[in-house]
């Protein structure tokens, strides 16, 4: 199955996606980390965020980004750019202020979405982002749109940023999230929006465990639907009424 978790900044997508991936034994892909990695590399190279963004799009096509799975004590997967670990650097306030500009460049999205589909195409996967249910994996079996009030999201993000050692205030964090929401929902290509078939989950006032349990319930329901959809195949005219041959049994 593919599990798509979309929503605005700080709604808890990556926390939930990691838990769900672990419980299902699936791969977890933090697509936001890829946009952040390109943004960090663009800032380091002094590329311009104004104009058509073509130099950043070229960078996105050629940049080596590696996402190693999360370790038992790490808060997320290790992110490597050009072979250098940048897991904390991509969460800096400066990257935060520029990442939505990077993500609005169509050439950047084309390059990263292609890579995301390749990675997710390898088997069971949980992806979180802004356009997973609408553009990256529109055929995903489970789609969740996870949100929370702006104040709650800002409180959660402030705690995270202070924990990482970044000296920021509540107002700064709140303004950054609001500005990112504005750019992400109004960009031309694949803006942030709830897919028609996504389940809306407002996590305001909910614990991590409660949200994860809700998403796991949706996964179990989807797995049940898939099983039921596949069951009639065992009784198609070709096979119905015939005892399965040993070869057939093995094949099943």
CA 93/CA 167 separation, integer angstroms: 9
134 contributes a contact to ligand CDP by CB under 6 A: no
Closest distance between ligand CDP and the C-beta of residue 8, in Å?
Answer: 7
99 contributes a contact to ligand CDP by CB under 6 A: yes
Closest distance between ligand CDP and the C-beta of residue 239, in Å?
Answer: 42
The first and second tokens of residue 98, run together, are 């520029």
The first and second tokens of residue 134, run together, are 């609408």
Task: Pick the binder of ligand CDP from 43, 103, 111, 120 (CB under 6 A).
Answer: 103
12 contributes a contact to ligand CDP by CB under 6 A: no
CA 251/CA 208 separation, integer angstroms: 41
Residues 13-32 that bind ligand CDP (CB under 6 A): 13, 31-32
DSSP secondary structure string for all residues of 213-231: HHHHHHHHHHHHHHHHHHG
Compare residues 52 and 224 and give the one whose CB is closer to ligand CDP: 52
Q: Which stretch binds ligand CDP (CB under 6 A): 17-25, 50-58, 98-106, 215-223?
A: 98-106
Task: Pick the binder of ligand CDP from 129, 156, 161, 198 (CB under 6 A).
Answer: 129
131 contributes a contact to ligand CDP by CB under 6 A: yes
Site string for ligand CDP, 147-186 (x = CB under 6 A): ---------------------------------x---x--
Compare residues 131 and 152 and give the one whose CB is closer to ligand CDP: 131
Note the helical H segments in 53-149: 54-62, 93-103, 106-120
The first and second tokens of residue 50, run together, are 């104004």
The first and second tokens of residue 180, run together, are 């990112």
- Asked if residue 27 lies in contact with residue 41, where contact means CB atoms within 8 angstroms, the answer is no
Which residue, 89, 100, 70, is CA-closest to 180?
100
Compare residues 179 and 223 and give the one whose CB is closer to ligand CDP: 179
Closest distance between ligand CDP and the C-beta of residue 249, in Å?
Answer: 43
Site string for ligand CDP, 189-228 (x = CB under 6 A): ----------------------------------------
How many other C-beta atoms are found inside a 10 Å radius of the C-beta of residue 185?
13
Beta bridge partners of 145: 6, 200
Note the helical H segments in 25-149: 31-45, 54-62, 93-103, 106-120
DSSP secondary structure string for all residues of 192-203: S---TTPEEEE-
Task: Pick the binder of ligand CDP from 2, 36, 98, 174 (CB under 6 A).
Answer: 36
Q: Which residues bind ligand CDP (CB under 6 A)?
A: 9-10, 13, 31-32, 35-36, 99-100, 103, 129-132, 180, 184
């Amino acid at each position: 199955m593919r599990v798509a978790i979309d929503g605005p900044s700080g709604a808890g997508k990556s926390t939930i996606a990691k838990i769900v991936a672990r419980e299902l034994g699936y791969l977890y892909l933090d697509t936001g980390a890829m946009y952040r990695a390109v943004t960090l590399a663009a800032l380091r190279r002094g590329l311009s965020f104004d104009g058509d963004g073509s130099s950043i799009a070229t960078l996105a096509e050629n940049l080596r980004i590696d996402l190693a799975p999360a370790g038992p004590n790490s808060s997320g997967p290790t992110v490597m750019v050009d072979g250098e670990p940048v897991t904390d650097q991509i969460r800096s306030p400066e990257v935060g202020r520029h990442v939505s500009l990077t993500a609005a460049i169509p050439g950047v999205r084309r390059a990263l979405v292609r890579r995301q589909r390749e990675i997710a195409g390898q088997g069971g996967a949980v992806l979180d982002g802004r356009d997973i249910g609408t553009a990256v994996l529109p055929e995903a079996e489970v789609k969740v749109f996870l949100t929370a009030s702006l104040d709650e999201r800002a409180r959660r993000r402030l705690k995270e940023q202070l924990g990482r050692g970044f000296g920021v205030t509540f107002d700064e964090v709140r303004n950054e999230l609001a500005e990112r929401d504005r750019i992400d929902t109004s960009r031309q290509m694949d803006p942030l929006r709830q897919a028609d078939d996504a389940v809306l989950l407002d996590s305001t006032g909910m614990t991590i465990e409660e949200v994860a349990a809700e998403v796991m319930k949706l996964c179990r329901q989807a797995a049940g639907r898939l099983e039921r959809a596949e069951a009639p195949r065992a009784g198609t005219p070709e096979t119905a009424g015939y005892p399965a041959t040993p070869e057939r049994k093995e094949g099943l």
